[in-house]
Structures are given as C-alpha cells and as structure tokens.
Amino acid sequence: MSKTASNVDLPVGRFITFEGGEGAGKSTQIAILADRLNGANHRTITTREPGGSAGAEIVRHLVLSGMGKFLGAEAEALLFAAARDDHVHQVIAPALRRGIWVLCDRFTDSTRVYQGKLGKVDPALLRAMERVTIGELRPDLTLIFDVPVAIGLRRAILRRGKTAADRFEQENIEFHEKLREAYRQVAVDEPERCVLIDANADQETVAARVWAAVKDRLLLAVDIGETSGA
Ligand code: Z5A
C-alpha cells in the first residue's frame, strides 16, 4: 500500500492482487496463500472484485447477470468502478491501515484488461475513474495467473457444473485469447509490481510458485523465520 500523509505512521499491511483469465486458479491459490501467511503470523484477509463489501456485492450481482452488457462497455466500467469505490473504502484501506495483509481476487487490472483492452474503453477515462476510486492505493504485488485458454475454460466449466455461464464466460475463444495476451502484456509493462505465474500445473506446484513470488517480493528472510542459507 502506498504511504500517504494520513497513514505514514500507522502499521501498513501488504496488498496483493490476483489476476488472470477464466479458471486460472486464482480463488484456489488465494485461499492457500492466506493460510500460509496466517501461519507465518501475518494477519490476512481475502476478498474479491467485483464485490467484497455489501454495496459492491449488489453491483456484482448486476454485472455478472449480464445486465451491464446492454449498457455498453463504458457504463459497465462505471459499474465496476462504483463497486471498487465501496470495496476500497469499506474493506481494503481500513484493513491495510490496521496492518492486515489483503489478498484480493481481481482489482484494477481487470478493468484495464476487460473493459480497456477488450472493451475499448478510453484509457483516459479508466485512469480518471482510478483516481477517484483508489487514489494513491496500489497493489504491492500483482500475481498474474497464466494458463492456456482451453485449460482455463475447461476448469471453469467443471467448477460451474450445471449452473449457467456468467456474462464473461459466455464470450468466444478469441475474446479469451486476447484476454490472456493482454494480461501477459501487463506483466511485461509493469515488472516491478507484477509476477507472471505459470498456472498450468497441479495446485501444489502453482502454490509453490506463488509462495516463491511472495517471499521474493514481499517477505524478508527474517520475517518468515528462515536463515539466509535456507
Ligand atoms: N471483471 C471485469 O470485467 N472488470 C473488473 O473490473 C472486474 C471483474 C473486477 C468476475 O468473475 C468477472 O468480472 C470476471 C472479470 C470481470 N470474468 N469472468 N467470468 P468471477 O469473480 O465470477 O470469476 P473469476 O474471477 O473469473 O474467476 P474464476 O473463473 O472463477 O476462476 P479462478 O478463481 O481463477 O479459478 P478457481 O475457482 O480457483 O478454479 C477454477 C476450477 O479449477 C476449480 O474447480 C478448481 O478446483 C480448479 N483448479 C484450480 N487450480 C487448479 C489446478 N492447478 N489444476 C487443476 N484444476 C484447478
């Protein structure tokens, strides 16, 4: 979390966002990482977007039902922004100020990629919405889960079972291929913040990759009780 004049002297938690296409395994890995961090005495909460706060969950229902699609990409982006505004102010920022680690399933990169790159919403409009919704808040680390489209969609279908596909699962293969490419580009463009995680492996292997990235970027050896030779 970026330090601002109002929180500079307070304990500051770490903010990790999980990004990627359908069925990449984000939710699965968030739960595993939260257990691991809590076990290492870092108070940790998990949350998600759209949603994560009472107001934002209402918007989640609206958007994922597909109602936003008929309003167009810009209006849909505004809905995600409204949800994020509530989520940041009610949940994320207060937790970080209390020194709690926040693991969030999707955040601003989802808007940049889904509504920006895929929906062709003007980047200037997206930046303006970010100024309003998140201010100076930035993830300390963004893990981008990369998996071949066919595998991700197969996982999403298996998980969904007989329930209906949501708004974005209904998009065609070309959409999902572009989505994957756009996310890979985010990792290339912002290497200080982002780590691309090869998620085309079993859950334990992916979890080990996630933990290695978190250790490397955010945890000093002393924090996790390891010696420098470990
Ligand atoms: N969206 C947007 O457009 N703009 C925005 O600003 C924001 C969001 C914030 C939210 O969907 C949608 O909103 C999203 C983008 C858009 N698009 N869609 N759809 P969501 O919250 O309902 O779902 P999601 O974020 O896309 O996640 P997901 O598809 O549910 O997948 P996941 O969390 O990455 O995967 P998972 O649930 O952990 O795993 C899926 C299945 O695979 C499950 O059965 C697991 O047991 C299994 N799995 C997990 N890992 C593995 C491995 N390693 N091997 C094999 N099987 C695995």
Amino acid in the structure at residue 229: G
Minimum CA distance residue for ligand 1 atom 1: 110
In a domain, 227, yes or no: no
In a domain, 221, yes or no: no
Residue 7 in this model has a pLDDT that exceeds 50: no
Q: What is the pLDDT of residues 55-91, one digit of tens each?
A: 999 999 999 988 878 889 999 999 999 999 999 999 9
- Whether the pTM exceeds 0.75: the reply is yes
In a domain, 198, yes or no: yes
In a domain, 1, yes or no: no
**What's the rounded Cα separation, in Å, for the pair 172 and 193?**
30
Would you state the pLDDT for residue 174?
94
Q: How far is the CA of 78 from the centre of ligand 1 (A)?
A: 21
In a domain, 225, yes or no: no
Is 138 or 159 the better-scoring residue by pLDDT? Answer: 138
Radius of gyration of the chain (CA): 17
Q: Which of 19, 27, 57 to mutate to test the pocket of ligand 1 (most atoms within 8 A of CB)?
A: 27
In a domain, 222, yes or no: no
Would you state the pLDDT for residue 228?
40
What's the total number of domains in the chain?
Answer: 1
In a domain, 155, yes or no: yes
**What's the rounded Cα separation, in Å, for the pair 63 and 20?**
18
- Which residue range(s) make up the domain with 168? 15-216
Average per-residue pLDDT in the chain? 90
Amino acid in the structure at residue 92: I
Give the residues across from 142 on adjacent strands.
17, 194
**Is residue 114 in contact with ligand 1, taking CB distance under 6 Å?**
yes
Residue 184's φ and ψ, nearest 5 degrees, are -60, -35
In a domain, 23, yes or no: yes
CATH number reported for the structural domain that contains residue 194 in this entry: 3.40.50.300
